[in-house]
Structure 1
Amino acid sequence: MKNADRTLAILTLLASLLPPLITLSYAQLQDEARALLNIKQAVGLKSPNLASWSTSSNGGPCVGKWAGVTCDSSQRIIQLNMSGLSGFKLEGVLPNDAFSNLTSLRSLDFSYNRLKSPFPSLDNLKNLHDLNFSQNHFNGNLPQTIFNLPNLVELRLNENNLTGRIPEGISNLKGLELIWLGGSNKFESPLPKGLALLPNVEILTLAGSAFEENLPKEWAVWVNLTYLNLHTNKFTGDLPSEWGSKFTKLQKLSLYENHLTGKIPDSWKGMISMKEFRLRDNYLSGPVPSWLAQLANVNASVDLKCNYLRGPYPQWFSDANTWMGNCFDSASRSHDDKCRDDNTCEDGPPKSDGKKNSTAAIIGVVVAVAVFCVILVILYILWSRAYVPRSRRLRRDTGAEDWVVPQGVRRFTYKEILKATKSFDKSCEIGEGGFGKVYFGKLEDGKHVAVKRAGDFSHQGMKEFQNEITLLSRLHHRHLVRLEGFCDDKDEQILVYEYMVNGNLHRHLFEKEAVLLNWYRRLEIALTVAQGLDYLHSFAEPPIIHRDVKPSNILLDDNMAAKVSDFGISKANLDMDTHISTRPAGTAGYVDPEYFLRRHLTTASDVYGYGVVLLELITGQLSIDHKRLEDYNLVAWFKPRKIKQGIQAVIDPRLGSNFPVEAYDEVAEIAMDCTAFERGDRPTMKFVASKLEQILSGLIPPPEHFQPVSSTTSEGKASSMQVSPATSRTGATGEVLLTYIKLDPTFNATAFEPR
């Protein structure tokens, strides 16, 4: 009887406790639903994807299957994925307590949106495993609340506008494995010592920041490291020898565009898993390590150009999976021009003991150099006015002042042009653009050129023509068609450019006789064009608006590498001091739609035209096609089809099914962002180039990508029937990842220079 009484008492107690437990659980579920509705109210009212987030949904977020929400068996929210929302981005500021009631969250992804600072509190998310707020607009310091997440494994805050130092509090995150903080963030030295206290790091990206210090040898504790990306910083000193024996799992190493010195450590031959080894644009010296040949034998990409390496020519550089070639043009690099245009280098790498020079010494050197340069300029002007023959200056009787031909630009006589083009024979015509007809030319030395002859309606005043030449002479980039010279004889206005043997992109995309561009080649072209336009927008002085970005203005060389053509002062404002132009320009299908509202163009107008080109590369369809009955305009046709049916519904059917779906899906999102109606919603070309480089770095070219090219006739003119899908010496990122090694002065490198 006593046992029965005891059992009854226990049951009575449980019955009394059950209602409060049920009430507590229901209250928690209500709190989670309320938290999501607050998020929607703050940043998601414009997004149709959040229509399911409603109190009318039966059962709340879990039972009602709210978009982006994943729950566990107890109906608690464990994952919230708001990444991009298929083109409808969240915008604004999240409430500080946005996630305070979502205490069961393990995964939180708000990437590819337009969220702004301040960053919300994450203090209650003790179970959070991965955090992704990349590709947003957060600024200021790295949020301290992140360091209160004891179970965090993956941290992604890349491509924001974060600044300052990375706090030592990062050492609290003992389980951290993946750290993505690169891109448009600009963190500063010193690096936190706490990074070396994280034993499980597999990925670290801090590219594009402002770190100015030695590489930490203490990182050798990361025995599981697979990807280290520190490019485009100001790291100095030697490469840590300690890394070699520990980074045996390292597959990708990007240290290019830094100030690193010394030799490549012999201990680094212990990095036996390497697939990408990128050290270009540094001050490395010493011999080329023989063990690098082992990387070439396992299809790894090796990029060492623009250093001071010496020794006999490495035979393994002839392998199809490694590259050799020219230095980056100095105008496109963030540090000095130690690699000159003629592919020679300064006397040697700078000597460095790892210590900075004093501020006073630096200022003194800068002032002295500046004064010296001013004196040289003055002397040169005086000398040129006194001694430069009038044959080297444009005539006064044209109405323009005396003008010295820019250095590096050749002034052709009309007789030379006539001979090169067979007197502008019809058989030499290869195209016609906004400037006038374009002719194939062969100079006396055998060099092939493209000769652009101004037409009646494009003939400009001599002063404007001088300005055109002056400006074009300053534009040097590997993905811009190079100006060779000009001619002003006989009242002619002629520009002479390098000849691009494989014609233009329009032909290879849309003409029947052209050979198909494979999926990898298309992404390479997309990246290289983005880099060329970024140079015009970011590095040209004044900034240049191309005004007519389209496939016929994208030319391909003998290696099928793309270069942007048809740019110049006619594309810049007449005042030469602004990036805004009020002159009409463009081609139907590629013109910024806001131009028709405001009647002026900006660099964002080029972004729109580029976005259309990107859509054409993806779909293989014309920008305007009246045979496309669903919608003549490619932008209007593409966006709803992609959002509703996915990338498979818009991909060029000629590519078949053998293409990287995820990569092309990302590129499609970039194209849609570029073709946004409002300029403020479009990314910059710098951002686009960075994203495409990131996408390409993770892809392996198809086997047919490395077939040899045979693309010229006996006259040197392009023959589309001979163009193969072909190879270039370009690498996975679409940059000219060709290795140019500074050999000993006694070594004949001429034979190995790329064509």
Structure 2
Amino acid sequence: MSGAKIFFCWAAVAILSCLFVQFAGAQITDPSEVTALKTIRNSLIDPFNKLKNWDSGDPCTSNWTGIICYNSTLSDGYLHIQELQLLKRNLSGNLSPELGRLSYMKILDFMWNNISGSIPKEIGNITSLELMLLNGNRLSGPLPEELGYFPNLNRIQIDQNQISGPIPKSFAYLNKTQHFHMNNNSISGQIPRELSRLPELLHFLLDNNNLTGHLPSEFSRLPKLLILQVDNNNFSGSTIPPSYGSMTQLLKLSLRNCNLQGAVPDLSQIHQLGYLDLSGNRLTGSIPSNRLSNNITTIDLSNNSLNGSIPSNFSGLPNLQRLSLENNNLSGPVPSTVWENVTLTGNKSLTLDFQNNGLSNIANALNPPANVTLLLAGNPVCANASQLNIVEFCQPQNVQAPGSLTNSKTSCNPCSTDSDFEINPSSPYPCFCAAPLKVGYRLKSPGLSDFRPYVYDFEEYLTSGLRLSLSQLYIASFLWEEGPRLRMYLKLFPNNTNLFTASEVRRIRSMFTGWEIPDSDIFGPYELLNFTLGSYESVISNPSKSNLSTGAMVGIVLGAIAGAATLSAVITMLILRRHSKYRLVPKKRSLSKIPVKIDGVKDFTFEEMALATNNFSDSTQVGQGGYGKVYRGVLADGTVVAIKRAQQGSLQGSKEFFTEIELLSRLHHRNLVSLIGYCDEEDEQMLVYEFMANGTLRDHLSARSKEPLNFSMRLRIALGSARGILYLHTEADPPIFHRDIKATNILLDPKFIAKVADFGLSRLAPVPDTEGTVPAHVSTVVKGTPGYLDPEYFLTHKLTDKSDVYSLGVVFLELLTGMHPISHGKNIVREVTTAYQSGMMFSVIDSRMGSYPSECIEKFVSLALRCCQDETDARPSMAEVVRELENIWRMTPEADATPSESMATDAGKIVTPPSSSLAAGNPYVSSDVSGSNLLSGAIPTIAPR
């Protein structure tokens, strides 16, 4: 290093020292934003002193309540406010125009307070705003025109206020806004037809206002609209535009009590429609006879002036929960085909409200089953109720939406009283105490009438969106409210530990408050009512990154500069002394990269992956899990593959990435998924697998699977899975413990051959010590999926081959019953064990598999329960499992063919699942698969009981 370079280094140190001394006396947050925040506080009434720390320190470095800042300064050298989060702080007063000076803010959240006055037009100055959340206050006055010019706004929530006046036409310029939630106000005038230009609009909720005029027929042009909900307005003289029948993306149409007239339009072309409510209007004519979508759960045409008979198109709708036609002028027979052609299993139910019409008789005079509620009071047919044996259906009733869950109870000692610990009812381990996060949550526009059959779907949806496991969520209660809206009280528990980490609490809270949980077609948009931290309050309000005063920071940094100067002098002397001995070497490749080329596994470039997935288009995404997203890709040679793309910056993803490449590159078996290649560049980590067209085993066990697996198919899948795991335990070199066997990690190829997948958590089996003795277990941190975890491994941290046996035993029980490992606080092992011991085994067998040989079922159940014994030594080895499954196979009528031959030839054609069976988090399913007949091969011996 030359003397000139040394001089410049020392000069730089001196200049930085001087600059820091000058800057140290200034606020770190932009001074104009600090002034604005103080003015905003002065305009609020804070009776419980929630904002007391706004009086001292710096907003960003002193963690002012509700203030979240960017984690680095912008070009002006200041920190800036990114979010103002004041959800449910018991605040009143007014919103200050000074809010408009927080010009870098993305989230403005004053939800569920008691703030009054008008919305300041100055808020329109915040061009970076993405979420405007003002619902649940007492705001009044008109909507400012200035709110229509946000270039980045995604969501406007001003519902449940007292806002009046018309909708500004400027809202037609909100080109990125997806969610208009303005219900429960006093907004008047006509809905501007200009809003039909909004390219991204998904949810339009304007119910319970004072709107008049006509429904804009131009809304049929909205390309992405999913929910149109404008109940309880007064569109007197208006009809429902026939063009609404061409809104092919629509999921929900709710126009209840809007004083509409004319005919019910033909909506049969809306192929995804799940909820239709046109009740309480003045509609006339007959009900259209064209069949509605199979997704429909609710049809409400009550309280109109409709005539004619009840059409046959209501028959055989597989998801129908409620058909309300009461208080019309309908005549003719009561169509028994509505309930005869629908299969209602489990807690599914159907309500048919035909009260107060002119229905004269019941076709075929057949009474509906117990899970169908038929209401006929006020019809002529009830004059002959005794003769027709329908007295119970002729009693006047008001239908209430079902609103309770039956949760299993266990006898446990109470948790510690000096903490917020509670027993997690969803945990696979009884009486496990932990501190939950408590969340008030509401579905604002659900597409269903009965929540109970969708509880597991909801649990799967929410935990997947939050990146939690199913056992971490407990639905403490739910209640239907006027709207109808569905209010819930949720508890989120840590995963197999007593406490969440502070970073995990912040992550979960930001998922809710930032609306980062994806919307669901069936559950619709949600709103956060409260987020109770409990014992985590002090952790969040006093994070580990201490809030140093400006003076302390000055001292630390100046000390660091002095130290750096001393170190620089020492380094300078060393460099000068050794300059002639060393030369610069090229920069090494990142340590995160694959260090060597792996035979048989291709190293793809990022460009190849982007090309294969159309630049990772949403249309090619087929799943998402904790690791990241999964895409269906087509390589340059036409090979269809599944590409698992890790979340950037995921340390867990990086560890699993290397583990899976290392293991799969040397594993080759018919019942293990094959790794084709990987991509490891540009901070991207991707794994490329063979594509499994028939998705996961869980897809086909789901209640939504249209073509359920028969017994022989399930037995072959069990045998194939066991053979794959036996290979891992005995033939791989060295042997491998999988550690995460579950139904979503068992994939099915086009011929329904089972292949075990996802080796990210796998561990090498123990190797012989110096004396040649092989340890019986591997000591490791517990990993795996609740419901499948070996209880002894969970308690002792000792992983053995019998841990995989336990997990596979749970999969066997899923194959036999169709149940989930954990559902509504019930554990599949306990449920099946109880049924088996009480002689009621066949009551839990999945009726969808058709007929089966009872002796085979008994042996299969017995084997599954032996695999799931709590004590390791009581479980069979994987070799014994395979041998016993082969013996069960030989007892079936198909034993003349080998299992592999039978799997390849049973149907003579490739079978793929319906697209509705694609499960979130499944890394290997296609986005374009379609329904087809499953292998038949029914065994005509005994029908399920």
TM-score normalized with structure 1 length: 0.43
Between 1 and 2, higher relative CO (CA 8 Å, sep ≥ 6) is seen in: 1
TM-score normalized with structure 2 length: 0.35
Between structures 1 and 2, the one with greater helix share:
1
Larger of the two Rg values belongs to structure:
2
